């Protein structure tokens, strides 16, 4: 079914030259992505629309393949003992344009933001004090969610069994992502700390080679900007969240039309009782 949809979208691209994938998307949405929006959706090229659709299809195919093989990328995930249960909850959120440093808040201690009613759609950062007792939470998975116009648009899921609050964010822990090449492509950065010299956090990057050649998948820009493509968004404030809208990595400077800008980055943990 997915191949048929992509084939139709590509054919309509060739005939119409603009946005048929948007119509296709309204009829077929992957589970967990019932709403798909981006800041400049109306200005997307047809190719970018199809690339975004391919990315979501690839994520679903990967998740299904993992279920059929009973594993998660070679790293077995635990299951609760009989009678136990697992649940997801948000423990961290960074809002683009809000004051402060994403990495500084992550590495701080205690709570930050509304601890009574933490909201995905609120306009302030959020940090749960639960992060300070990570080792006692029995965290099995972590989900990084990119939020655009109050809706989830991209999910990256990691196996966090046996990890601390920092070292789950690595390629060898990756379970699924919207990018088809992320598991196999080379990376020069894949960490929460990222490139400390340039304050590039939650940084999943393929290669440097001068500003014009920077290529990657995800970045949160803490205070400071080095390259023209960073300066384009830094006027909007700190913690700008950029990601590839394609099915693979994006060249930030030369392919700016395929660079997405998220309103927020949220982190959810899955913890299980019954251990």
- Across the chain, mean pLDDT equals 78
Give the percent of the chain with pLDDT over 90: 57
Q: What pLDDT, on the 0 to 100 scale, is given for residue 13?
A: 53
Across the range 170-184, mean pLDDT stands at 97
**pTM of the predicted model, to two decimals?**
0.72
Please check the confidence at residue 71 and state whether its pLDDT lies above 60.
Answer: no
How would you label 62-91 residue by residue, b for 16+ Cβ within 10 Å and e otherwise?
bbeebeeeeebbeeebeeeeeeeeeeeebb
Residue of higher predicted confidence among 166 and 32: 166
Tell me how far the alpha carbon of residue 235 is from its chain's centroid. Answer: 23
**82-86, 120-124, 142-146, 159-163: segment of lowest average pLDDT:** 82-86
In the chain, where the domains are located: 2-69, 86-272
Q: What pLDDT, on the 0 to 100 scale, is given for residue 271?
A: 87
Residue 262 neighbours by CB distance under 10 Å: 24
Please check the confidence at residue 19 and state whether its pLDDT lies above 50.
Answer: no
User: What's the per-residue H, E or C state across the chain?
Assistant: CHHHHHHHHHHHHHHHCCCHHHHHHHHCCCCCCCCCCCCCHHHCCHHHHHHHHHHHHHHHHHHHHHHHHCCCCCCCCCCCCCCCCEEEEEEEEEECCCCCCHHHHHHCCCCECCCCCCCCCCCCCEECHHHHHHHHCCEEEEEEEEEECCEEEEEEEEECCCCCCCCCCCHHHEEECCCCCCCCCCCCEEECCCECCCCEEEEEEEECCCHHHCEEEEEEECCCCCCHHHHHHHCCCCCEEEEECCCCCEECCCCHHHEEEECEEEEEEEEECCC
Q: What pLDDT, on the 0 to 100 scale, is given for residue 252?
A: 97
Residues pairing with 240 in the sheet: 221
């Amino acid at each position: 079914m997915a191949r048929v949809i992509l084939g139709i979208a590509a054919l309509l691209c060739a005939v119409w030259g603009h946005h048929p994938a948007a119509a296709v998307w309204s009829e077929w949405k992957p589970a967990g992505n019932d709403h798909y929006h981006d800041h400049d959706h109306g200005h997307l090229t047809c190719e970018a629309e199809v690339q975004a659709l391919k990315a979501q299809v690839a994520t679903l195919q990967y998740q299904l393949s993992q279920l059929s093989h009973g594993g998660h990328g070679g790293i077995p995930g635990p299951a609760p003992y009989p009678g136990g249960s697992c649940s997801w909850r948000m423990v961290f959120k960074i809002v683009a344009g809000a004051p402060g440093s994403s990495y500084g808040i992550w590495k701080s201690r205690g709570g930050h933001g509304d601890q009574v009613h933490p909201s995905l759609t609120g306009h302030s950062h959020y940090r749960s004090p639960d992060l300070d007792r990570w080792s006692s939470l029995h965290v099995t998975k972590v989900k990084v969610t990119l939020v655009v116009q109050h809706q989830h648009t991209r999910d990256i899921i990691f196996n966090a069994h046996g990890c601390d609050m920092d070292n789950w964010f690595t390629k060898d822990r990756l379970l699924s992502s919207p990018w088809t090449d992320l598991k196999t492509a080379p990376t020069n950065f894949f960490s929460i700390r990222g490139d400390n010299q340039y304050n590039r956090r939650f940084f999943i990057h393929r290669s440097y080679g001068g500003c014009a050649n920077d290529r990657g998948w995800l970045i949160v820009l803490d205070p400071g900007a080095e390259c023209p493509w960073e300066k384009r968004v830094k006027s909007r404030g700190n913690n700008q969240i950029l990601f590839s809208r394609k099915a693979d990595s994006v060249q930030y400077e030369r392919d700016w039309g395929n660079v997405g800008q998220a309103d927020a980055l949220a982190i959810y943990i899955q913890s299980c009782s019954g251990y």
